[in-house]
Structure 1
Amino acid sequence: MQFDLLHVGTLVALAHILGVVAACHAILNTRTSQGAIAWAVSLVAMPYLTLVPYLFLGRSKFAGYADARRVENELLRAHAHPPEWDRLASSAELPAHALGGRLVHSLTRLGGMPFLPGNSVRTLVNGTATFEAIFEAIENARHYVIVQFFIVRDDALGEMFKDALIARARQGVRVYFLYDSIGSFDLPHRYVAALRAGGVDMHPFATHRLFVNRLQLNFRNHRKIVSVDGERAFVGGHNVGVEYLGGKPPLSPWRDTHIEVRGPAVASIQFVFTEDWYWATQQLPHLDLPPMPPPDPASGRGMHCLVVPSGPADKQETCSLFFVEAINAARERVWITTPYLVPDEAVFSALRLAALRGVDVRILIPSRRDHVVVFEASKLYAYDSLRAGIRIFRYQPGFLHQKVVLIDSIAAAVGSANLDNRSFRLNFEIMVMTVDHGFAKEVEAMLLADFAQSREIDRNEYRQASALRRVLMHVARLFSPIL
C-alpha cells in the first residue's frame, strides 16, 4: 500500500511540475493575455485535466510560422495579384452612404484587398440550394475548378462531389482541391487517392508543409471556397458532408448560408485560395481570369464587394477588428448569426456600446449544441448581453451554423468566420462584404424568416437555471479565450 501511495504521490507531483512548466510556456507564447491567464490557471490548478489538451490546443506559436506565411502573402500580393485589381480598384467609388464609405475605407486597409464594383451576389440558403448550384457550376466548367473546404467527408455527398470533380478532370478541366488536414482528419486515404488518380490536384493544408502534425489543432484553414473558370465563386459556411444537407440527427435540419459571387470579386476570392495553395504546395495554380466588362448596373452586376481574408499570420487581428469596425459603423441595426457566441472583449464591448447608443443589435444562435463547452460558454455570454439591451434569439428547427452580418440597410457580409476566439486569432477565414441596398434587403428577408423560427431569450432563463448549471456556464466561460 505504501509503495502504491508513493507512486501515486510521485505522479501527482510530476503532473503539477509539468503543469507549472506548461503554464510558463503558455504565458510566454499565448497571443492574448486572457488566453495566457486561462491556460496558466488551468494548468497549475488542474494539470491532470489540461496538460493533454494543451498539447493539442495551446501550442499556438510555431517558430517562424507566422513570419514565413506573412512574407509569402506580402510577396504574392505585391507581384502576383490579379491585374484587374489595379484598374477596377482605382476606378471604384466609395458608397455615397456615409456608413458604407467609412466601413469600406477601413476594411480595405485592414484586409489588404480592393473594393470592387460590377458584381452580382445571391444567397444560397441551406445545403440543397448550395450544392445544387456548386454541382451545376462544376458540371459546366470549361477550364478549371478550385475547391477548398475545412471538412470533407467520405459519405454520400462526398462521393457525389468526388465523382463530379473526377468527371471534369477527365474532360481536361484543371481541378485544384485543398482540404484542411485536421478538419478532415478522418478522410480515408482511398478517397484522396481516387481523386488524384482521376486527375485532381489534391493537397492537405497543414501548419508545416513537410508533415501533418496531429498535435497541432491551431492555425486551421476554416475557409470554404469553390470557384469555376474565374466567372463565379461560392463562399459560406457549408462543408462537404451529409450533415450539411440535414442528414445528421439530432442536429438536423442544418441551417447554413452560402453566397454565389459573379464579377471582379471572384478574382479576390481566388487569390485567397492562391495564397493558401502556394503555402501548401509552393506552386501557383494556373488560373486564367476572363476579361471583365465595364460595370453595367442594368445587367444586375452593379454591386460593390470587398473580400476580407483573415488568419493568424496577419499583422493585425483582422477577423476581430472586422467585427469591431462593422459593429461600430452601425447606426440603425446590427444583426449577426453565429453558431458560437464566445466573443473577445473588444467585440463584446462593441456590441454592448452599439446597443447602448440605440442600435438594434440582434444575435441569432443555435438552440442545439454540437460542442458542450462552447455551448455553455455561449449561454453565459448570451445572458450577459441582455443586460446591455442586446436581443438574443435561439434558432429552433435545427442546428444553426450560418455566419452572416447585416449592418443597417446598406452592408451585409457572409463567410466562414464565427464569433469566437478561434476565428478571431487561430483560424484562416474569409468574409465577403457586399455594400448594396438590394442585397442588404435580400439578407434582411432571409434573417427575418430565421427570427420568425426562433425564440427570444430573457434573463429569467438564467435566474431559473439550477446552481449546478450556472456553475458549469461560468466554468466554461473561463476557457473562452482558448475555445
Structure 2
Amino acid sequence: MNIIAFIFGSVFGFSLIWVPIVHAFIVLLFGIHLVSVRRPVGVAFAWFLIVILVPILGIALYVLIGERPVGRKLTRKIVRMNREYEKITETMRQQFAADRQKLPVEGRALSLLAESKNGSPVVAGNKIELHTNSLKILQNFIDEINNAKKSLHLEFYIWALGGDADRVCEALIAASQRGVACRVLLDSLGSKDWFKSSWPARFRKAGIEVTEALPIQIGRFQFRRADLRLHRKIFVIDGAVVWTGSMNLVDPRTFKQDSGVGEWVDAMVRIEGPVASQFELTFAFDWSVDNPNITNFKDREPPASPHEGAALAQEFSSGPVYRDDILYQVLLSAIMDAREELTITTPYFGPDDGLIQALMAAAARGVKVTLIVPKLNDSTLVAWSSKSFYEDLMNSGVIIAEFHGGLLHTKSLLIDKRIAIFGSVNFDQRSLRLNFEISLIVYNVDFCAKLEKLIESYLAQADYVDPKAWAKRPTWRRYLENAAHLTSPLL
C-alpha cells in the first residue's frame, strides 16, 4: 500500500490520506464491471487480484487484453455481413441434409453441434489427403499455384520471410501476371515482419490483392482488444481444392531458429470435394470483413465442387465475435463422446477446469486418453503452466508423452479411430476464447487410420512422463508450475 500511495501521490499530487479511498473506489467499480460482464470465475478473480495489487497497471492491461471486443465498427460490419452469410449457409444445410444420414450413429450429434449457430453441415464425397513433410508441402503449394487456372486465395496467421516461403511468393506473383486472380489475407501481428518487407508492394504491383487482418492501431486499444488474432490456415485453389491444418507459410529450416526448440513439426490436409466450398465461403467472409474497401458480403453462394471421394467431412470455423463458445462445446462433446480411445496432439496445452475434468472423467471410465505435447516449447510460461496439469491427469489415467523431435505443432483430436478434428486449434484458452480458428472434422475410418499412423510416428519420438517420477520432482518446480497456472486464464 505504501508503494501504491507513493505512486498516486506523485502522479496525481493529492494528499496521501485519499489514496486508500481512491484505491477502494477503483477496485469497487472494477468489481461491479466484472460482475456485469459475467466473466469465467477464474478469469474474473485473476483480473480482480491484479487490479487490487496494481490498480493503474491492472486497469490498463484490462483495457488492452481483458475483454474480447474487435471494435464497434468491425462488430457492426460482421453483424451486417453475417445476415447474407446466414442465407448461404442455410441453403447449404438444406442442400446437404441427407448426407447426415450417412454418418455413423456416434458422429451425428457432434456433426449437428458443429453446424449449429450458423455453421457448415457435413457433406459426403470428399477426397482428403494427409501431408506431413513441411518442405514437400511448400513445394506442393508452389505446384498448385503454377497449375491454377482461375483463382488463388490464401489466409494465414504467419507468412515468414526466407527459405521456400519466399519461393511461394515468387510463384504467386507469376500466377497473377498470367491472369490468375490472387488474394492474400494475413494476420497483422503474426505476419508483421512480412508486412514490413518488400513483398506487399511487390504483390500489389503484380496485381495481387493483399489485406491485413485485425491491424493493431495505436490509440484504438480502448475500442478493440489488441491480442485477438486471425489464426486460420486456408489455401483455396480455383474454388475446388483446399489445404488446411497447422502449418503457417514458413520454411521450418529458417523459422524461429533462435528459439532453441528445433524445427516446427506440422501436418496439412489437401481436400477435393464439396467441403472445399465451405472453406472458400469462410475465406470470402473473412476477406470481406477485414478488407476496409468492402462494405457488403458479395458472394451469393459457394462455388460448386464435384464429389471426388468417399469421406464425410465438414468445415468448422470459430471466433470470438460470431459462433462464440461453439469451439469449446464441440471439444467438450468430443471428449465426452469418446468410448475407447482419445488422442490429442497440441503444441500449447492450457485448458480450463471443465475440459480438464472431462479428460479425467474419460480416462476414469476406461477410455485410453493420450496427450502428446512438445518436450520443449517456445512459450516458457505456457510450458510451465501446462505441466501444472500433469499430476491430476496422470492420477486419473491419462497418458502424457513429450515429443522431442522438434516443436510439435500439429493440432488434432482422434476419437475412437473413427472421427478426427484437425486444423489450427490449440488445446488452450487462447484458441477457445480469442482466436479466429478453422478445423476440418472428418468422419472416415481410412483418414483416421492415416492420422493414427502419424500419431504413432510422434509417439516413437516422444518420452512418456512417468507418474511416479513426476510425483518426486523438486518442490520448487511445483511452485513454479502452479504460479504459472495462475496466469493461464489470461494467456
Q: Normalising to structure 1: TM-score of the pair? A: 0.88
Secondary structure (helix, strand or coil) at the match of 2:136 reads helix
- 1:264 maps to 274
Spell out, residue by residue over 1:223-276, the C-alpha distance to the aligned partner (whole angstroms, 9 max, x if none): 011010012101111112234776725222321111111100010011111111
In structure 2, the CA distance between the partners of 1:205 and 1:82, relative to structure 1 (3 Å rule), is farther
**Mapping of 1:144-159 within 5 angstroms?**
144-159=151-166
Structure 1: runs of 5 or more not aligned: none
Task: Provide the aligned C-alpha RMSD in A.
Answer: 3.1
CA distance in 1, matches of 2:218, 2:485: 36
Spell out, residue by residue over 1:162-186, the C-alpha distance to the aligned partner (whole angstroms, 9 max, x if none): 2111111111111111111122233
Spell out, residue by residue over 1:68-119, the C-alpha distance to the aligned partner (whole angstroms, 9 max, x if none): 36524531323345976643x1331434532122322222225611111010
In structure 2, the CA distance between the partners of 1:129 and 1:328, relative to structure 1 (3 Å rule), is farther
- 1:117 maps to 124
1:192 to 191, 200, 214: 200
**Mapping of 1:32-431 within 5 angstroms?**
32-46=40-54, 50=58, 53-61=61-69, 64=72, 68=76, 71-72=79-80, 74-81=82-89, 86-87=94-95, 89-109=96-116, 112-186=119-193, 187-188=195-196, 190-206=198-214, 216-243=225-252, 248-249=257-258, 250-281=260-291, 282=294, 284=297, 291-293=304-306, 295=307, 301-431=309-439
1:286 CA displacement: 6.9
CA distance in 1, matches of 2:327, 2:6: 50
Q: Which amino acid aligns with 1:434?
A: V
Q: Which amino acid aligns with 2:142?
A: F
Structure 2: runs of 5 or more not aligned: none
Secondary structure (helix, strand or coil) at the match of 1:406 reads strand
CA distance in 1, matches of 2:301, 2:139: 25
Spell out, residue by residue over 1:310-330, the C-alpha distance to the aligned partner (whole angstroms, 9 max, x if none): 001135401111111111111
In structure 2, the CA distance between the partners of 1:245 and 1:450, relative to structure 1 (3 Å rule), is farther
Q: Normalising to structure 2: TM-score of the pair? A: 0.87
CA distance in 1, matches of 2:253, 2:38: 33
CA distance in 2, matches of 1:41, 1:65: 32
1:47 CA displacement: 5.1
Q: 68-77 or 117-126, which moves further after superposition?
A: 68-77
Identity %: 26
1:462 CA displacement: 3.9
CA distance in 2, matches of 1:93, 1:60: 34
Q: 271-280 or 203-212, which moves further after superposition?
A: 203-212
Q: Which amino acid aligns with 1:454?
A: A
Secondary structure (helix, strand or coil) at the match of 1:92 reads helix
In structure 2, the CA distance between the partners of 1:53 and 1:8, relative to structure 1 (3 Å rule), is closer
1:31 CA displacement: 3.9
Aligned pair count reads 473
In structure 2, the CA distance between the partners of 1:451 and 1:44, relative to structure 1 (3 Å rule), is same
Q: 366-375 or 245-254, which moves further after superposition?
A: 245-254
CA distance in 2, matches of 1:401, 1:151: 13
1:472 CA displacement: 1.4
CA distance in 2, matches of 1:81, 1:111: 7
In structure 2, the CA distance between the partners of 1:207 and 1:26, relative to structure 1 (3 Å rule), is farther
CA distance in 2, matches of 1:116, 1:6: 64
Q: Which amino acid aligns with 1:414?
A: F
Q: 9-18 or 278-287, which moves further after superposition?
A: 9-18
CA distance in 1, matches of 2:129, 2:210: 28
In structure 2, the CA distance between the partners of 1:63 and 1:234, relative to structure 1 (3 Å rule), is closer
Q: Which amino acid aligns with 2:155?
A: Q
Q: Which amino acid aligns with 2:460?
A: A
2:466 to 458, 465, 480: 458
